[in-house]
Structure 1
Amino acid sequence: MVTVAFAGQEKSTIADENGRWEIILDPMEASGEGRNLVISAENKKVISDVLVGEVWICSGQSNMQMSVDAVPDIKALETRAKNIRSFEVDRTVALSEAEDVMGKWSDDVPKSAVAFSFAYFLEKAGDVPVGIIQSSWGSSSIEAWMPKDMTEQFGYFDTIMKDFDADTVSQNRITKILEKSSDRSNEDDIFLRRQPNILYNAMMKPLAPYAVKGLVWYQGERNTRYISGVPKVNKDNWFHKVSGMKEYGDVLKAWVSRYRKQWNNEDMYFMVVMLPGYGKGTVENPKIDPNDPTSQSWAWMRESQLKASELPKVSVINTIDLGDVENIHPKDKLPIGQRLGLEAAKKTLGKEIITDGPILERVERQKRSLIIHYANVDILKTADGKSPKGFWITDESLQWKPAKAKVKGRTVVLKSKEIKNPLYVRYAFSGKPDVNLVNGADLPAYPFRTDTGDE
Structure 2
Amino acid sequence: MTRILAILTMVVCLAGPANAGLQVSSLFTDHMVLQREMPVPVWGSGNPDATIQVEFADQSKTVQVDPDGKWQVRLDPLAANLEPGEMTISSSANDESIVIGDVLVGEVWICSGQSNMQMGYQNIQGIADLVPQTKNIRTFEVKRSVAFRPQESCEGQWAVSQPSSAVAFAFAHFLQQAAEMPVGIILTCWGSSSIEAWMPRDMTETLPHFRTMMQEFDADTARTSKIQEILDGPRPWSRADDIYLRRQSNILYNAMMHPLAPYACRGLVWYQGERNTQSMAGMLREPWFSRTSGMLMYGEVLQQWIERYRKQWNRDDMHFLVVMLPGYGATLNRDSDRDPNSPTAHSWAWMRESQLMALKLPHTSVANTIDLGHLKKIHPTDKLPVGRRLALLAQRDTLGQSVEAQGPTIKNVQPNGDALIVHFDHADGLKTTDGKSPQGFWIAEESGEWCEADASIEDETVVLRSTQLSKPLYVRYAFSAKPDVNLVNDADLPAYPFRTDDFPPTKPAQH
Structure 2-normalised TM-score?
0.87
Alignment of 1:318-329 (within 5 A): 318-329=368-379
1:163 aligns with 2:226: no
Name the Cα RMSD after superposition: 1.2
Secondary structure of the equivalent of 1:189?
helix
Query: Structure 1 residue 39 and structure 2 residue 92: aligned?
Result: no
The question of whether the paired residues in 2 share the 8 Å contact of 1:126 and 1:351 is answered with no
| Partner deviation per Cα, 1:412-434 (whole Å, 9 max, x = no partner) | 00000011110111000000000
Letter in 2 for 1:230: M
CA contact (8 A) 1:226 1:283 kept: no
TM-score, normalised with respect to structure 1? 0.98
Give the total of aligned pairs.
452
Structure 1 unmatched ranges of 5 or more: none
Task: Tell me which residue corresponds to 1:119.
Answer: 172
Tell which deviates more after alignment, 319-328 or 26-35.
26-35
What corresponds to 1:254 in structure 2? 304
CA distance in 2, matches of 1:37, 1:386: 59
Q: Which residue of 1 aligns with 2:393?
A: 343
Q: Is the 8 A contact 1:145 1:196 kept in 2?
A: yes
1:304 aligns with 2:349: no
SS in 1 for 2:351: helix
Contact 1:285 1:296 in 2 (8 A): no
1:244 is aligned with what amino acid? G
Q: SS state of the match for residue 58, structure 1?
A: strand
Residue identity matched to 1:293: P
3-state DSSP of counterpart to 1:425 = strand
Matched, 1:242 2:292: yes
**Per-residue deviation, 1:70:** 2.8
Q: 1: CA distance between counterparts of 2:118 and 2:222?
A: 29
Aligned residue type for 1:232: R
CA distance in 2, matches of 1:60, 1:245: 16
Rounded to whole Å, the distance in 2 between the matches of 1:283 and 1:135 is 33
Query: Is the Cα–Cα contact under 8 Å of residues 280 and 286 in structure 1 kept in the other structure?
Result: no
Answer whether contact 1:280 1:287 (CA < 8 A) is retained: no
- What is the match of residue 334 of structure 1? 384
Partner residue in 1 for 2:129: 76
User: Cα gap change, 1:56/1:158 in structure 2, threshold over 3 Å: closer, same or farther?
Assistant: same
Q: How far 1:138 sits from its partner (Å)?
A: 0.2
Q: Partner amino acid for 1:185?
A: S
Report the 3-state secondary structure (helix = DSSP H, G, I; strand = E; otherwise coil) of the residue aligned with 1:211. Answer: coil
Pairing 1:136–2:220 present? no
In the alignment, is the contact (CA less than 8 A) between 1:142 and 1:223 conserved in 2?
yes
SS in 2 for 1:296: coil
Query: How far did 1:198 drift?
Result: 0.6
Q: Does 1:56 align with 2:56?
A: no
Cα distance in 1 for residues equivalent to 2:335 and 2:128: 37
Q: Does 1:232 align with 2:285?
A: yes
Unaligned stretches of 5+ in structure 2? 1-50, 506-511
Among 368, 372, 375, the alignment partner of 2:422 is: 372
SS of match in other structure, 2:398: helix
Which aligned pairs between 1:385-396 and structure 2 lie closer than 5 A? Answer: 385-396=435-446
* SS of residue in 2 equivalent to 1:32: strand
Q: Which deviates further from its counterpart, 328-337 or 285-294?
A: 285-294
Deviates most, 265-274 or 20-29: 20-29
Shift of 1:283: 7.2
The Cα of 1:359 is off from its aligned counterpart by 0.5
Matched, 1:212 2:265: yes
Helix, strand or coil at the partner of 2:387 = helix
Aligned to 1:197: 250
Query: Where does 1:395-414 land on structure 2 (aligned, <5 Å)?
Result: 395-414=445-464
1:6, distance to aligned residue in structure 2 (A): 1.1
Specify the code of the residue in structure 1 equivalent to 2:83.
E
> Percent of aligned positions with the same letter in both sequences?
56
